[in-house]
Structure 1
Amino acid sequence: MTKSDNCSVQRTPNDTVDAASPVERFHLDGKSRAYDPRVTPARRDLVDVRLAGSIFAPHYSRALTAVASADLPLWPTAQMDGDPLSIVLDGEPFEVLEVAADRAWGRAADGSVGYVAASGLDADVPPRALPAPLPGTPAERARHLLGTPYQAGGRSFAGVDTAGFIFLILGGSVGKPRFRPMQDEAGTAVERSAVQPGDLLFATDSAAVLVDDQSVVTVDPASGVIELPLAEWLAQVGEVSARRVRA
């Protein structure tokens, strides 16, 4: 990875490994598996070489680490439009698998995979220490986030969306479910009649944390992270499922 005048990160042809290369060969251990492109560094044309044993592609690439020089939206497609999938936070590492024009495709520190502006990455500075998980129980974490504004793809005090909010409640680190419906399967299922403070409540287009017997903390696109009476939230969202996770 080298520096250029108009782009902080640039990939050379040697950084991509062809599946048919006579120098380095790969084989599948079984059938090429299905994957979620939001959290798996794999496309139809290019796959992280660490997945060569389970996902077939015509080309494989070795990740090179760069660091975000500002908060960078991470987009699900190369067009980099619509709502961002996540945010690569200032100072966080980003595993670059491909650079084309000013688009870098790779994996962020939260496990999400997508495209960021390559000019916002720097290969010559060390990453900062990642933020520590929020302290306390899920209910305490939820109330700690009260007042955080809404931000599509957000997962920090600068802003959260519903998936980012639940991600932080679950610990906010790689290995924690980053997106729904993965989050809908976190922990263990709980009957509605047996819910307790700290349980996660999932509706079709919303999610909340029960913080006491009568209240939830949830994310509203207009107001950010807010606390609402449980009955009011249920009236808004309809049928819900409940999950219990360890603090």
Structure 2
Amino acid sequence: MNMSQNNYNEQSYALSGPSPKTDKRITPIRGDLADISLAGKLFAPHYAVPQLRICVTSATMVRAAPDHLAQGASSLSYGEEFAVLDISGDWAWGYCKHDDYLGYVPTAHLAIITEEMPKPTHIVTSVSSMIYTQPKGSATSIVQLPMGAKICITGDEEDGFLPCAQGYMPASHLSLISDMDVDPVALARRLINVPYCWGGRSGFAIDCSGLVQLCFGMNGKNLPRDSDMQEAFVGRQLDDRNQLRVGDLVFFNGHVGIMADKDNIIHANSYHMNVTIEPLSIVAQRFASEDGPAITSMKRI
């Protein structure tokens, strides 16, 4: 069933003047349908009111097309929200609530958010964690969750574990969502050796801008999804490489990393195919070309 057929807004809207330029990655419109928020701004045959859903699998790719072999555009972790505009077959089309990034997600990986559903209270801050049947390390593990996953804790700590609806999680692997102030560089260091994956943004697999977005997001700073967006819209420009310090962002053509100290950078990259820490000078040499400088900008969040 096509969800949007029951979710269309039948009100008429008038447009005047040329349509504004938009970024297709974060503007919820396609040939047949658009988010109701764009009514009167961009033309579409139909407009839909988004239906909020939550990711109920450990992590899932947000894909560029409704196909398991389609390019991964981003990813959702357990407990993150997705605004659904259309359901066709086994796929939902919509956008991630935390950054408005568009794509397709398997409907089986999403659940409708109801008023009765408890809201997540904690976030996984270790590279990954497990849910166990009992509050002890020797208990049976039920599911693995990546860094960035959100979970509702239902009671008090018991023997170093916190209870949730599915079982128990190590308290040391979690932080309160309402009190997130984790050092982004410390988080990035924890992710060293995590596999590189285009579109990834969790402790399971991650790309360069996903690393930046995840680590700074868990420090309470909401950054855009892609490196060009991060370079254009966040931070204060630095003019000299000698100004660089821990936590600064360094941008290359289509790439970004976080300074681990004044000389070394942490980045998820396809050269090593994982999250790596290495000298900035070496990375700059790798990106050097005759078309322009290796480093396109340096910014401080």
TM-score scaled to structure 2, two decimals?
Answer: 0.68
Question: Residues 244 and 141 of structure 1: is their aligned pair in 2 closer, same or farther, counting only changes over 3 Å?
Answer: farther
Write out per-residue CA displacement over residues 36-66 of structure 1, whole angstroms, 9 at most, x where no aligned residue: 2222211132110012132221110011122
2:266 match: 217
In the TM superposition, 1:3-152 aligns within 5 A as 11=3, 13-17=5-9, 21=10, 24-28=11-15, 31-70=18-57, 71-111=59-99, 112-123=101-112, 126=117, 128-129=120-121, 131=123, 132=177, 135-136=182-183, 138-152=184-198
Moved more, 173-182 or 103-112: 173-182
Moved more, 173-182 or 84-93: 173-182
1:3 match: none
2:204 match: 158
Task: Say whether residues 1:189 and 2:237 are aligned partners.
Answer: yes
Aligned-partner residue type, residue 146 of structure 1 = I
Contact 1:134-1:168 at 8 Å conserved across structures:
no
Shift of 1:80: 4.9
Q: How much is the aligned-residue C-alpha RMSD, in angstroms? A: 2.6
* 2: CA distance, partners of 1:109 / 1:134: 21
Shift of 1:30: 5.6
Moved more, 97-106 or 196-205: 196-205
Write out per-residue CA displacement over residues 121-155 of structure 1, whole angstroms, 9 at most, x where no aligned residue: 2226636357345612x544432432332222111
Instruction: Report 1 or 2 for greater relative contact order, CA contacts < 8 Å, sequence distance ≥ 6.
Output: 1
Question: Residues 142 and 72 of structure 1: is their aligned pair in 2 closer, same or farther, counting only changes over 3 Å?
Answer: closer
1:204 match: 253
Q: Secondary structure at the match of 2:276?
A: strand
Aligned-partner residue type, residue 47 of structure 1 = A
Question: Residues 124 and 143 of structure 1: is their aligned pair in 2 closer, same or farther, counting only changes over 3 Å?
Answer: closer
Shift of 1:217: 0.8
Contact 1:134-1:169 at 8 Å conserved across structures:
no
Moved more, 187-196 or 234-243: 187-196
* 2: CA distance, partners of 1:187 / 1:162: 17
Write out per-residue CA displacement over residues 7-39 of structure 1, whole angstroms, 9 at most, x where no aligned residue: xx962622123xxx4xx2223476422222222
Contact 1:74-1:84 at 8 Å conserved across structures:
yes
1:179 match: 226
Give the share of equivalent positions with the same residue, in percent. Answer: 26
Task: Say whether residues 1:236 and 2:282 are aligned partners.
Answer: no
TM-score scaled to structure 1, two decimals?
Answer: 0.81
Question: Residues 13 and 130 of structure 1: is their aligned pair in 2 closer, same or farther, counting only changes over 3 Å?
Answer: farther
Structure 2 gaps of 5+ residues are 124-176, 289-293
Aligned-partner residue type, residue 71 of structure 2 = D
Moved more, 204-213 or 172-181: 172-181
* 1: CA distance, partners of 2:106 / 2:269: 28
* 2: CA distance, partners of 1:211 / 1:159: 20
Q: Secondary structure at the match of 1:16?
A: coil
1:6 match: none
Question: Residues 168 and 235 of structure 1: is their aligned pair in 2 closer, same or farther, counting only changes over 3 Å?
Answer: same
2:158 match: none
Instruction: After the TM superposition, list the runs of 4 or more consecutive aligned residues in structure 1 that deviate by more than 6 angstroms.
Output: none
* 2: CA distance, partners of 1:235 / 1:244: 19
Aligned-partner residue type, residue 203 of structure 2 = F
